[in-house]
């Protein structure tokens, strides 16, 4: 059964100068002919009047992409319509009337994957490009869409296949004149590859934070000036500031961009023995947020002694802020003096935050793992390679290598281990 022919608005919804309707599937050419007359030359922009059942619908630029040289790999059409909702609706109705159906979310990219036009990591990169909000996210997404991660995966897969071919040769031609240390070399090289994969896992937290946004929590005693700090960094009055201790009860969030990294900055309830159950819940939420945040801003006011609850949150992912510096020097050595009243220290704090954002969520040198799905696949390959190192028999080691290959192939969703292995092993043939 041939697949449906689908259509969807590729540009944003609502009124616009131009709306792009995309059509993909075996009936694309027939639909275009029905609406616009004879087919234009492939990939050439042509101005046509679109008609359906005797009714003129629009004058539009039409493009005809014969498969497989299209985004989806199928016959495809693009209609660049006038962007009014009524025009889009009329042309969509005509397409449905002619037997096409509206596409599901992501269906064009899914079809491109099924036709081998891109692998899963590239498809994810395209999804990330569409939702990228900052410059660093755009660069990260583009690198993945252009095959950065797939290239690394291919290199790792290539290494594993060579190891497997050698391990198989060792099993199959055991009695023959093979280098006697072939078997040991497989284990040593597998261990080196395992360490490389582990390094990519260690780096993955930064890439994931960049893709998802970095979480920063502001913590401190009641009245330390946390809400004032959030408002100063956000540039607007997001949180209520008052002289009454215990004003902030829930977590208040603002979105910022720091050094190209999208950040969620959260103001939290002051840490102290709560006087009622609402405040107790607020403190509970503050501590939960502190736990989840990649970076903690610990705020100590110049007019109060450092409190134990906030002090206990000090670690390498905490930045100490000495607030209300207009009232005196910070009470804690190493705290950055800041006053939201005079503005002192705010540029320095912002610079420190940008540095931390780059450290915690910057792009890596090599294309990295940006999703839990990637981490899971690599993590599984790592545990199979660790397994190999202790496996007592060559057959078990070969099996561990196959399992590692299968785990890796889930990254791109494209590699057929057996097929590639036939090819590699065929080349390896030792005169037999």
Ligand X SMILES: Nc1nc2c(ncn2[C@@H]2O[C@H](COP(=O)(O)OP(=O)(O)OP(=O)(O)O)[C@@H](O)[C@H]2O)c(=O)[nH]1
CB of 259 to ligand X, least distance (A): 24
Longest dimension (CA), the chain: 86
**Packed helices 346-361 and 226-234: angle between N→C axes, nearest 10 degrees:** 80
CB of 223 to ligand X, least distance (A): 4
Burial 388-397 (b: 16+ CB within 10 A, else e): beebeebeeb
Contact yes or no for 165/421 (Cβ under 8 A): yes
Residues 6+ apart with CB under 8 A from 237: 231
Kind and range of the H or E run holding 205: helix 182-212
Between 241 and 391, name the residue whose CB sits nearer to ligand X: 241
231 marked as part of a ligand binding site: no
Contact yes or no for 164/399 (Cβ under 8 A): no
324 marked as part of a ligand binding site: no
CB of 113 to ligand X, least distance (A): 49
243 marked as part of a ligand binding site: yes
In 260-361, where do the E strands start and end?
A: 261-267, 295-301, 318-323, 336-337
CB of 285 to ligand X, least distance (A): 13
247 marked as part of a ligand binding site: yes
CB of 323 to ligand X, least distance (A): 6
* Cβ atoms within 10 Å, residue 339: 19
Contact yes or no for 108/72 (Cβ under 8 A): yes
245 marked as part of a ligand binding site: yes
Between 160 and 221, name the residue whose CB sits nearer to ligand X: 221
8 marked as part of a ligand binding site: no
CB of 148 to ligand X, least distance (A): 42
Between 73 and 220, name the residue whose CB sits nearer to ligand X: 220
10 marked as part of a ligand binding site: no
228 marked as part of a ligand binding site: yes
Between 171 and 241, name the residue whose CB sits nearer to ligand X: 241
d(CA 337, CA 206): 28
* N-to-C CA span, the chain: 44
Between 191 and 245, name the residue whose CB sits nearer to ligand X: 245
Between 121 and 340, name the residue whose CB sits nearer to ligand X: 340
Q: Which residue is nearest to ligand X (CB)?
A: 270
Look up residue 113 and give its two tokens.
């994957």
d(CA 412, CA 424): 19
Q: Residue numbers of the site for ligand X (CB under 6 A)? A: 220, 222-228, 241-243, 245-248, 269-270, 323-324, 326-327, 339-341
Residue ranges at the known binding site: 22, 78, 117, 223-228, 242-248, 267-270, 432
Binding residues for Mg(2+): 227, 248
For the annotated binding site for GTP, the residues are 223-228, 242-248, 267-270
Binding residues for (6S)-5-formyl-5,6,7,8-tetrahydrofolate: 22, 78, 117, 432
């Amino acid at each position: 059964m041939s697949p449906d022919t689908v259509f969807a608005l590729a540009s944003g919804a609502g009124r616009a100068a131009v709306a792009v309707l995309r059509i993909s599937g075996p009936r694309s050419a027939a639909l275009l002919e029905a609406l616009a007359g004879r087919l234009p030359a492939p990939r050439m922009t042509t101005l046509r009047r679109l008609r359906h059942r005797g009714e003129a619908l629009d004058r539009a630029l039409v493009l005809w992409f014969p498969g497989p040289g299209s985004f989806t790999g199928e016959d495809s059409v693009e209609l660049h319509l006038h962007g009014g909702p009524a025009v889009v609706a009329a042309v969509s109705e005509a397409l449905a009337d002619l037997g096409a159906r509206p596409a599901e979310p992501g269906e064009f990219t899914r079809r491109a994957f099924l036709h081998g036009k891109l692998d899963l990591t590239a498809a994810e990169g395209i999804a990330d490009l569409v939702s990228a909000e900052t410059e660093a996210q755009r660069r990260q997404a583009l690198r993945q869409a252009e095959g950065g991660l797939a290239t690394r995966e291919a290199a790792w897969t290539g290494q594993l296949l060579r190891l497997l071919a050698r391990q198989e040769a060792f099993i199959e031609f055991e009695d023959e004149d093979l280098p006697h240390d072939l078997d040991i070399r497989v284990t040593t090289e597998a261990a080196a590859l395992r360490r490389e994969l582990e390094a990519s896992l260690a780096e993955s937290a930064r890439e994931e934070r960049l893709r998802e946004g970095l979480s920063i929590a502001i913590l401190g005693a009641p009245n330390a000036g946390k809400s004032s700090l959030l408002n100063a960094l956000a540039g607007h009055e997001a949180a209520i500031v008052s002289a009454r201790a215990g004003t902030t009860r829930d977590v208040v969030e603002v979105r910022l961009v720091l050094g190209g990294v999208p950040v969620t900055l959260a103001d939290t309830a002051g840490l102290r023995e709560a006087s009622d159950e609402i405040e107790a819940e607020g403190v509970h939420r503050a501590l939960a947020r502190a736990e989840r945040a990649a970076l903690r801003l610990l705020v100590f006011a110049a007019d109060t002694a450092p409190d134990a609850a906030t002090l206990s949150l000090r670690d390498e992912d905490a930045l100490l802020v000495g607030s209300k510096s207009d009232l005196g020097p910070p009470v804690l050595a190493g705290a950055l003096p800041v006053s939201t009243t005079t503005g002192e220290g705010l540029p320095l704090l912002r610079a420190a935050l940008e540095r931390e954002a780059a450290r915690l969520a910057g792009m890596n040198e090599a294309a990295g793992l940006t999703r839990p799905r990637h981490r899971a696949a690599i993590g599984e390959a790592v545990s199979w390679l660790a397994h190999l190192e202790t496996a007592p028999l060559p057959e078990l080691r070969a099996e561990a290598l196959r399992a590692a290959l299968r785990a890796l192939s889930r990254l791109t969703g494209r590699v057929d281990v057996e097929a590639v292995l036939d090819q590699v092993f065929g080349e390896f043939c030792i005169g037999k």
